[in-house]
Structure 1
Amino acid sequence: MKRAECKQRVEPISLIPNNIPEEITEEDRKFFSEVVSVDLDDAQRARILNPEMTFPNQKAVLAVHWHPEHVPLSLINRRIDAMFPGREQELIIPTQHNELMSYGDYTGVEVDCYSAGFNQKVQLLLHFENSRLSEAGVLRGMLDHTFKYRSSQLFDFIHSITKPDEERLSMAARQTGASDAVICFVQAYVRKIEALLEEQISHISPLSIKNKLLRNFFDRLRSTCGDGVIDRCQTFLTEVKRLVKLSFPSHYFFRTSEIIEEARHLNAGIVIPHPEQFWPVLLAGYDVDGVEVWNPQSHRYTDFLVSVLNEKNRLAGPTRRPLLVFMGDDTHMGEKTRNIIDQDPAKRSREIGYQPAWEDLNIGKTLIKAGWSRESVITEYKARLSG
């Protein structure tokens, strides 16, 4: 059996396996099949249907930034029922990345776009009534293009390792301290993933063509290689992915103004998510309905952002529609299907409709002065979407 040889190793004695078989083994095929599958087994269904947290006393549920991924909406609906059995008011809209999805009476999407004014990719949340879907042909076309372009990042990620892009690999190695043995191990398995993708691409769901495919595959190797080895590989892969994203040419996305124009044609609501990541968009004066002032990875300036929106509304005067305050849980339901030990700790605690900042006493003072609550935002935003 041929074996992939690593030309250099700085670790004379290492726990990193070497001489990885070049041939794709049955185990490789099994692991690949598991990570690209969008079907749920009984254990995964049980994890979806039995949430770890419930909120029986919460009467209003506002959730307009979350990702179903490959989890059926029927199961998600049952999970929401279990989490919020006492809810009396709700606005729950999925926002899959660059793909329209409907839940109840509404359709939503999180769109990648490009703002030339400050030369940066940004994201927008769009929400509209299902009755407008028949008019959404142009938006669908724009999203299809964006979805395919965004998916191409996975292949750039893979090629950076298998071709390879020596500059990226060297930089990632310096940032993470990855040895030649780690890099060799990663390259051997990414070549296998690349070959399996080429072989099976026509049968794989587009939902599986994501950067996390590599992360999920390497996690399958923990049982044979150990956590220490795979943790080193994951750290290195994460840094390579970060460098790929930094150099990804954003100008191939549609412009933010073009997305907003098409959204308004559908009477869609528009919300700016992740303000801490895309802060220049707050200064651009785009025609939006509101700003996400909190989510699990963007919450440092929540109180400040509520104050800024309140001041903007005051200066705009009563003749203009006020900017609304939103909070996004940014839940990725696909993460819930993984074994708990394999789940990303940063994403594990996220739940649809779970936004504790609404109950934060310090933030609450600012919200009261601004006149916003879950209930008032739900009422106002629904009115705009039906206008």
Structure 2
Amino acid sequence: MNATNNCPQPIKVTPEITDDDRTRFHDVISTDLADWQVEQVVTPSKIYPRQEKLLALHWHPEFVPMDLITRRVNAMFPNVTDKMMIPTQHNILMSYGDYTGVEVDCYASGFNQKVQLLLHFENERVREADVLKSMLAHTFKYRSSQLFEYMDAITKPDEEKVGLAARSTGADDELVEMVRVYVTKIQTMLDEEWSDVPKESIKNKLLKNYFDAMRPIYGDNTINRVQAYLKAIKQLVKSNFSLKYFYRATEVIEEARSLGGCVVIPHPEEFWPILLAKYDVDGIEVWNPQSQRYTDFLISVVDQQNTARPSGSRKRLIFMGDDCHMSEKTKRPETQDPVKAAREIGLQPAWDDLNIRKKLIIAGIDRQSVITEYRERLAG
């Protein structure tokens, strides 16, 4: 029996793994796309015929094939005359066209915080990049381990984290127990089928996606309460996640430079001290869908840094990142996060915002100038 949004079913969960549980698990971890998913991926919700330059240096293909991504981008921007697209999967090198990129989790020891860096390369420069690839493999494995800490906090259970999360979200004992039982099932199925589980599925959103798949059973009201509770626990786990196993940001930058790569700071709004660290980077992302509040200020910061730079040194470039996660395009519309679903590769409206554009003109920056300059830097 399916639940309606207004009349959710009572929460009744048995600890045994049912056929439905396992089918749902396989659906959630699968990276194969059904026909309706392919159609959804290649069909953008809006077309931008007046955009002629496309600069996309911060986006995540995840498990969506590049040919489908190309079809979507070409449909969205049919009149582009020059473009630069470099994928930045989390801790995995991926290539598109002539370029390879990655978004790396690392540790800024100067202010004791995890930060992220975007690395970009011409493809040939990372063909034999064994040291960088080993660093990324270690980081990917360690970063993925957060999922297991997350699940353990729910199933062990960690009474402190569970209590804090329940109180902050109003989750009652019945809901907490429901989540514990289902997450225990997920842990068991992961262990049983580990060799066949796509490694790109081993991330925190596995739990979110699994419970979203149960909306027809329990209704939106119950699942929304579950998601709020899960999010609260996830934040507690992330805040206590050890940083000592990440590589230092300076180590990551040094390795990228040794290979002739370029480095960009994303999300500066989340990592304010990184602007003071004087890292050897090519530019700063001043806008993305998560970081819009201080765009004007960040443009001024970059402009001031360029004015004060030593004679002969390269200026810092201004970047904008769409931070699009393509897996969101593969979900049914009713289970999509509307904020994340709105993100598109190459869609950075701040370039055309009249107030921001005024600042960019003063700084002598536009999309074409960044594409041209960055292309030259990547060529070495």
- Which residue does the alignment assign to 2:187? 194
Residue type of the partner of 1:54? Answer: I
Counterpart check, 1:269 vs 2:269: no
Q: What is the CA–CA distance in structure 1 between the aligned matches of 2:311 and 2:363, rounded to whole Å? A: 14
Q: What is the CA–CA distance in structure 1 between the aligned matches of 2:374 and 2:166, rounded to whole Å? A: 47
Superposed CA deviations along residues 49-90 of structure 1, whole A, max 9, x for unmatched, are 101121122111000000000100111011111111111111
Shift of residue 175 of structure 1?
Answer: 1.2
Superposed CA deviations along residues 102-144 of structure 1, whole A, max 9, x for unmatched, are 0000000000000111000000000000011223110000000
Counterpart check, 1:94 vs 2:78: no
Please tell me whether the aligned partners of residues 293 and 327 of structure 1 are also in contact (alpha carbons under 8 angstroms). yes
Matched position secondary structure for 1:250: coil
- Stretches of structure 2 that go unaligned for 5 or more consecutive residues are 1-6
1:315 alignment partner, one of 297, 308, 312: 308
- Which residue does the alignment assign to 1:211? 204
- Stretches of structure 1 that go unaligned for 5 or more consecutive residues are 1-13
1:326 alignment partner, one of 319, 322, 331: 319
- Which residue does the alignment assign to 1:343? 336
Shift of residue 207 of structure 1?
Answer: 0.4
Q: What is the CA–CA distance in structure 2 between the aligned matches of 1:319 and 1:19, rounded to whole Å? A: 69
Shift of residue 174 of structure 1?
Answer: 1.5
Please tell me whether the aligned partners of residues 50 and 82 of structure 1 are also in contact (alpha carbons under 8 angstroms). yes
Matched position secondary structure for 1:287: coil
2:62 alignment partner, one of 56, 66, 69: 69
Counterpart check, 1:175 vs 2:175: no
Matched position secondary structure for 1:112: strand
Shift of residue 15 of structure 1?
Answer: 5.8
Please tell me whether the aligned partners of residues 8 and 219 of structure 2 are also in contact (alpha carbons under 8 angstroms). no
Matched position secondary structure for 1:146: helix
Q: What is the CA–CA distance in structure 1 between the aligned matches of 2:100 and 2:24, rounded to whole Å? A: 34
After TM superposition, which residue ranges in structure 1, 4 or more long, deviate above 3 angstroms? 14-19
1:356 alignment partner, one of 342, 349, 360: 349
Q: What is the CA–CA distance in structure 2 between the aligned matches of 1:155 and 1:299, rounded to whole Å? A: 32
Superposed CA deviations along residues 133-165 of structure 1, whole A, max 9, x for unmatched, are 223110000000000000000011110011111
Shift of residue 17 of structure 1?
Answer: 3.2
Q: What is the CA–CA distance in structure 2 between the aligned matches of 1:67 and 1:31, rounded to whole Å? A: 24
Residue type of the partner of 1:179? Answer: D
Q: What is the CA–CA distance in structure 1 between the aligned matches of 2:171 and 2:231, rounded to whole Å? A: 12
Query: What is the aligned residue count?
Result: 374
Q: How does 1:1-387 map to 2 (within 5 A)?
A: 17-387=10-380
Matched position secondary structure for 2:63: coil
Cα 1:207–1:249 shift into 2, 3 Å? same
Matched position secondary structure for 1:126: strand
TM-score of the aligned structures, taking structure 2 as reference length: 0.97
Q: What is the CA–CA distance in structure 2 between the aligned matches of 1:95 and 1:143, rounded to whole Å? A: 12
Residue type of the partner of 1:91? Answer: M
Matched position secondary structure for 2:315: coil
Q: What is the CA–CA distance in structure 2 between the aligned matches of 1:17 and 1:94, rounded to whole Å? A: 44
Q: What is the CA–CA distance in structure 1 between the aligned matches of 2:339 and 2:9, rounded to whole Å? A: 27
Matched position secondary structure for 2:31: coil
Please tell me whether the aligned partners of residues 135 and 266 of structure 1 are also in contact (alpha carbons under 8 angstroms). no
Q: Pairwise CA RMSD of aligned residues? A: 1.1
Deviates more, 1:118-127 or 1:15-24: 15-24
